[in-house]
Amino acid sequence: MTEIQTKTAHPKGLWVLFGTEMWERFNFYGMRTLLVLFLVNSLMMKEEDASLIYGGFLGLCYLTPMLGGFISDRFFGNRNCIMLGGLMMAVGQLLLFTSASVFGENLGLATTIMYSGLGVIIFGNGFFKPNISSMVGSLYPKQEKSKLDTAFTIFYMGINLGAFLGQFICPLIGDVKSVGGVRDIHAFKWGFLAAAIAMLLGTLVFYFLKNKYVVTPEGKPLGGLPSKNVSSDYEEGEAQSAVFTHKSLIVSVIAFVGLFLLFHFSVDGENVVKTIIYPIIYASGITLAGLILSDSSLTKVERDRIIVIYIISFFIIFFWAAFEQAGSSLTFIADNQTDRNFFGWPMPASMVQIFNGLFVVALAVPFSMLWDKLRANDKEPISPVKLALGLLLITVSFFMIATQVKDLGTSGLLAIKWLILLYLLNTCAELCLSPIGLSLVGKLSPKRFSSLLYGVFFLSNASGYALAGTLGSILPATGDKFNKAKELGIDLQAVLDKKITLTTEQIQLLDTNQIMDHNPIFAGFEIHNLFEFFMVFVILTGLAALILFALTPFLKKMMHGVR
């Protein structure tokens, strides 16, 4: 059986997981394209609040895999968690569909239903996400673990084929404007409905094909109940269950509370996402990382490899903080200060994100072939170098967009080609970083921690998204705000420059029209324009790339032979 497996390219189970993940990503990314525009245009929220909700939602979607991974490893098994998560996400999308159907009659009820829908999606994603990723690595026999980078790149293409379809279909039917450019604020519901149908399809694909194809190289079902695991499923000499003392569990709880309070009191304002949800995400990541290291059954090699996962996870935070501007600040810029004429067609603002999914589908196989070719010639860089390269590429993309917006002023429009080029560079960065990171966790994790360590890895994504929400909320006023203020008889530039003082009525007028009367502040610095906004990302990701490159020799040693 092993011999046959070695000759074939990839097991058929990879394609079942590919298909399941594809429909799940259609559902997730399709909804994501519309979310902030729905919050601002239908539920009448400010852009700043919409960015924070978006970051909090994404962050929690990558926090709950920790819980889902734990429940799967201990109780339900991968298969049951995938089906439960899929059904929950479909229900969540149907709640968003309901919210987008009733906001005209009852705005308060629609807002409550929207939060409920996001909550159900968050928990559904927690059950689904870590379990499907951890099953990919188990499809391969031990002597073929070197194929994992390629396998995860193929799997990643499934993720992005789904993302592409979702980012095309949901905006097409959900982000609709009339010939005069007036948005139909009631159309968002059709995008959410399409996302719900896609999720149901993905769950059915997995349900009907799992028993036949999602199996080990020896033909045994994968991802069943943990109580059915046998000793041959583990590496030689590897402990089969984690050993946490009561003391380490108590210390973890105290550490979580302490870290939560530290993060909670270090932020200003009263926004619940910023003061409660983001601190929960950051505190959870650090606490879980510490708890895993307290396991007394860990060997020195296992501990070193887990520390490498943590170091990599920390740097990945800065990548996602920049990358995930796609769904918040970059969508607002596409909507309000971009000439979206695409070969004569006025492209919906929410659809501009589609280029990321499109480029991944086009480039995933070439990148996979590149790594294979370099490996064959013994020139393949180790995983941390690929990750640092990804950070460097995203730094270049944001520097490029910063130089393009520098001279736009308040009335100029950014040509859509620059956003397309940004997404091309971001996609190349993503292909150096995300599938490689997933693969590295699979290669470095002891089996008893595999889902839980994917949970830690996704927590770094969660922290990145939380940071993305915070950074997205410091977007300064775009051209549309200056035009709207002018119509109201207010010189917004003079207000921002503190040259005129507003009356109480004028302050109320700006607030009603969702226009800020001051420039945003980040780390004590005032952000005056889009150039300064984008340079924040250039500095953060650029520093992260340089430090990670410098740490590579140390990480290589700590990986003990894993590449």
- Give the CA dihedral 535, 538, 544, 550, nearest 10 degrees: -120
DSSP code for 221: B
Token representation of residue 497:
């420059």
Within 8 A by CB and 6+ apart from 523, the residues are: none
Per-residue CA distances from 283 to 257, 463, 464 (Å):
8, 10, 13
Q: Answer whether 441's CB lies under 8 Å from 152's CB.
A: no
| Total residues found in the chain within this entry | 563
Token representation of residue 185:
């604020």
Q: Strands 338-339 and 414-415, how do they pair? A: parallel
Looking at residue 233, its pLDDT comes to: 53
Tell which phi-psi region holds residue 149, choosing left (phi > 0), alpha (psi between -120 and 50) or beta. alpha
Return the SS3 of 521. strand
Q: Strands 525-526 and 414-415, how do they pair? A: unpaired
pLDDT tens across the length of the chain (563 residues): 444 444 456 788 888 888 899 999 999 999 999 999 999 999 999 999 999 999 999 999 988 877 887 788 778 888 899 999 999 999 999 999 999 999 999 999 999 999 999 999 999 998 998 788 778 777 877 666 667 777 877 787 777 789 889 999 999 999 999 888 889 999 999 999 999 999 999 999 899 988 888 777 777 777 677 666 555 555 544 555 666 788 888 999 999 999 999 999 988 878 889 899 999 999 988 998 888 888 878 889 989 999 999 999 999 999 999 999 999 999 999 999 999 999 999 999 999 999 988 898 888 889 888 988 998 898 989 889 999 999 999 999 999 999 999 988 888 999 999 999 999 999 999 999 987 888 888 888 887 777 678 778 878 888 999 999 999 999 999 988 999 999 999 999 999 999 998 889 999 999 888 899 999 998 889 999 999 999 999 999 999 999 999 999 999 999 987 87
Looking at residue 265, its pLDDT comes to: 92
Give per-residue burial for 376-413: e unless 16+ CB within 10 Å, then b: eeeebbbbbbbbbbbbbbbbbbbbebbebbeebebeee
Q: What is the DSSP string of 319-342?
A: HHHHHGGGGTHHHHHHHHSEE-EE
Looking at residue 7, its pLDDT comes to: 45
Q: Answer whether 320's CB lies under 8 Å from 461's CB.
A: yes
The tens digit of pLDDT for each residue in 366-406 reads 988 898 899 889 898 988 999 999 999 999 999 999 999 99
Within 8 A by CB and 6+ apart from 237, the residues are: none
- pTM for the model: 0.85
Q: What is the DSSP string of 156-190?
A: HHHHHHHHHHHHHHHHHHHS-B-TTS-B-TTTHHH
Q: Answer whether 542's CB lies under 8 Å from 489's CB.
A: no
* Rounded Cα gap, residues 509 and 490, in angstroms: 10
Looking at residue 216, its pLDDT comes to: 75
Say what angle helices 78-102 and 107-138 make with each other, to 10 degrees: 160
Token representation of residue 419:
């956003």
Say what angle helices 64-71 and 78-102 make with each other, to 10 degrees: 140
Return the SS3 of 215. strand
The gap from C-alpha 159 to its chain's centroid, in whole angstroms, comes to 12
Task: Look up tokens 């890895």; give the residue.
Answer: 457
* Rounded Cα gap, residues 28 and 32, in angstroms: 6
Return the SS3 of 525. strand
Which amino acid is residue 519, in one-letter code? N
The gap from C-alpha 61 to its chain's centroid, in whole angstroms, comes to 8
Query: For residue 269, which phi and psi values (nearest 5 degrees)?
Result: 90, 180
* Rounded Cα gap, residues 518 and 516, in angstroms: 6
Looking at residue 1, its pLDDT comes to: 40
Token representation of residue 396:
């270049």
Query: For residue 217, which phi and psi values (nearest 5 degrees)?
Result: -55, -25
Looking at residue 454, its pLDDT comes to: 78
Q: Answer whether 304's CB lies under 8 Å from 560's CB.
A: yes
Q: What is the CA radius of gyration of the chain?
A: 24
